[in-house]
Structure 1
Amino acid sequence: MGLQDLPDVVAAHRQHFPNGFFARLGPRFLRRYYRTFLDGPLAVALIVEVSGVPSGYLVGVLDPVQHRRLLLTYHGVALAACGLFGLMRRPTVLTRFVLTRARRYLTALRRSRDRVIESVDGPRIAVLSNVVVAEHARGLGLGTLLVDAFLAQARDVGRDRACLVTVAGPDGAGSFYTKSGWQHTRDATGADGQRLSHFERDLSEMV
């Protein structure tokens, strides 16, 4: 994925996740959000094309803790400015942010002040953040192609497991991930009250 792909990616995000918090902040915030995946050494940003037409994308991170530190260091001010701009233009979204996310985001900012890289015991986990395949290109295996490429990169850099979250029930992609070898670990209620399904994949099983 490159800068030239961001308009298509933002449009696809707004089409497929219209009720998500990031989409409600508007296209300006989404463009800045997806830019954070383009230059991060611990991020993955992929585009798939059919006959030269962008038909799907995937973004994820190979080390969530370190990626978050780098994101806040190099993109934090710009991302916060775009987010604040979106909130000021949308009072209902601002209210929702204060009620559901403000404390968590402030905690993350405070932690970012500690630039010491800490070793963490336990499995090293990669996170698949978003994957979308355009409706006209479904059934061609593009989703599997994107996810497999992400998992291969995660395995190559020494990740033990990968995880993701999707909407629970028929509106989500749980059946796709189950068929692809992911393990459903739990359901939980997200910040916006939506039921979410959590999945994991053991990368040691990949050949």
Structure 2
Amino acid sequence: MSQIEPKLPSTRSPVLIRQATEEDLQSMASDMIRYLPEGLFPHLGKRFVLRWMQTFLTEQYGVALVAVTIDAPRQQVGFLIGSTNQIHHVADVLHQHKWSLLRAGLVALCLRPRVLFHFLRTRARPYVRRIMGHNNGPDEGSVPRPATAVITSLVVLPTVRGEGIGRFLVEGFLERAAADQASLAELVTTAGAEGAGTFYAKIGWKRGEERYSKDGTPIHTYHHSLQ
């Protein structure tokens, strides 16, 4: 996994953007569950989220960045996780971590009957197909598709929003994606005021299709060309 140079955004509070480490994951997982509760993973609990987030540190195409205050005591005020090649990242994670993630997920589901019922109703079939090896990666002999980078999660603490931290986290991600030869970056966010569409539009991302998540929530896709 390639490294990035730390960056110092020009904000009211001096903040460093750097590569995340294992020590950062506890705060990252807590902040994701608190500020990005949509979807399945946050409802599986912190232990599962930690195990899943580790894959963005260890796998070749994973990206994990944190924003940390420079002044003591240092505090994590934001993070971004994603991949510079989503197809290959998912394939690598399934190859290296499928069974450990499956065990962690099953334990989390068994401890949360309501989440288990919701999972069986909305996601069981595609997850089983993926676990069994269907559509886990590019087919051999197929025409290579342009690499697409994906921002999976971006969180900036409410107390420091509006200071440019989110923009610098995204810019750090796009630099990594361009270095890994991605031609396009994508993300999805909740539609309307509950999502971050206004932020991404402000920093130059283009809105794509609107669709519904597996939970029935309207979501928007955003794109950013890297060519």
Task: Report the equivalent of 1:200.
Answer: 223
**Deviation per residue, 1:44-93 (Å, 9 max, x gap):** 00011123211100000111121111111211111111110110011111
* Alignment of 1:9 onto 2:23: no
Task: Decide whether aligned partners of structure 1 residues 19 and 156 sit closer, same or farther in structure 2, where only a CA change above 3 A counts.
Answer: closer
| Cα distance in 2, alignment partners of residues 55 and 120 from structure 1 | 42
1:13 is aligned with what amino acid? M
Structure 2 contact 178–226 (Cα < 8 Å) conserved = yes
1:169, distance to aligned residue in structure 2 (A): 0.2
Structure 1 contact 48–142 (Cα < 8 Å) conserved = yes
- Overall identity of the aligned pairs, in %: 34
| Cα distance in 1, alignment partners of residues 35 and 22 from structure 2 | 20
Task: Decide whether aligned partners of structure 1 residues 14 and 113 sit closer, same or farther in structure 2, where only a CA change above 3 A counts.
Answer: closer
* Alignment of 1:169 onto 2:192: yes
**Deviation per residue, 1:122-163 (Å, 9 max, x gap):** 432111100100112212100000000101111111111000
| Cα distance in 2, alignment partners of residues 65 and 36 from structure 1 | 14
| Cα distance in 1, alignment partners of residues 139 and 219 from structure 2 | 31
| Cα distance in 2, alignment partners of residues 173 and 116 from structure 1 | 31
Structure 1 contact 38–45 (Cα < 8 Å) conserved = yes
What TM-score does the superposition give when structure 2 sets the normalisation length? 0.85
Higher mean C-alpha displacement, 143-152 vs 74-83? 74-83
| Cα distance in 2, alignment partners of residues 114 and 103 from structure 1 | 14
Identify unmatched segments of 5+ residues in structure 1. none
| Cα distance in 1, alignment partners of residues 34 and 52 from structure 2 | 16
Q: In the alignment, which of 175, 178, 182 is matched to residue 152 of structure 1?
A: 175
Higher mean C-alpha displacement, 118-127 vs 154-163? 118-127
| Cα distance in 1, alignment partners of residues 52 and 154 from structure 2 | 15
Task: Report the equivalent of 1:76.
Answer: 98
Task: Decide whether aligned partners of structure 1 residues 19 and 154 sit closer, same or farther in structure 2, where only a CA change above 3 A counts.
Answer: closer
1:178 is aligned with what amino acid? A
What TM-score does the superposition give when structure 1 sets the normalisation length? 0.93
SS in 2 for 1:37: helix
Task: Decide whether aligned partners of structure 1 residues 116 and 202 sit closer, same or farther in structure 2, where only a CA change above 3 A counts.
Answer: closer
Identify unmatched segments of 5+ residues in structure 2. 1-19
Task: Report the equivalent of 1:190.
Answer: 213
Task: Decide whether aligned partners of structure 1 residues 141 and 8 sit closer, same or farther in structure 2, where only a CA change above 3 A counts.
Answer: same
Structure 1 contact 72–112 (Cα < 8 Å) conserved = no
Q: In the alignment, which of 62, 66, 83 is matched to residue 84 of structure 2?
A: 62
| Cα distance in 1, alignment partners of residues 213 and 138 from structure 2 | 30
Q: In the alignment, which of 99, 123, 131 is matched to residue 109 of structure 1?
A: 131
Task: Report the equivalent of 1:23.
Answer: 42
| Cα distance in 2, alignment partners of residues 115 and 201 from structure 1 | 23
Q: In the alignment, which of 48, 54, 60 is matched to residue 35 of structure 1?
A: 54
SS in 1 for 2:56: coil
SS in 2 for 1:28: helix
Aligned length: 204
2:88 is aligned with what amino acid? Q
1:18, distance to aligned residue in structure 2 (A): 2.6
* Alignment of 1:88 onto 2:110: yes
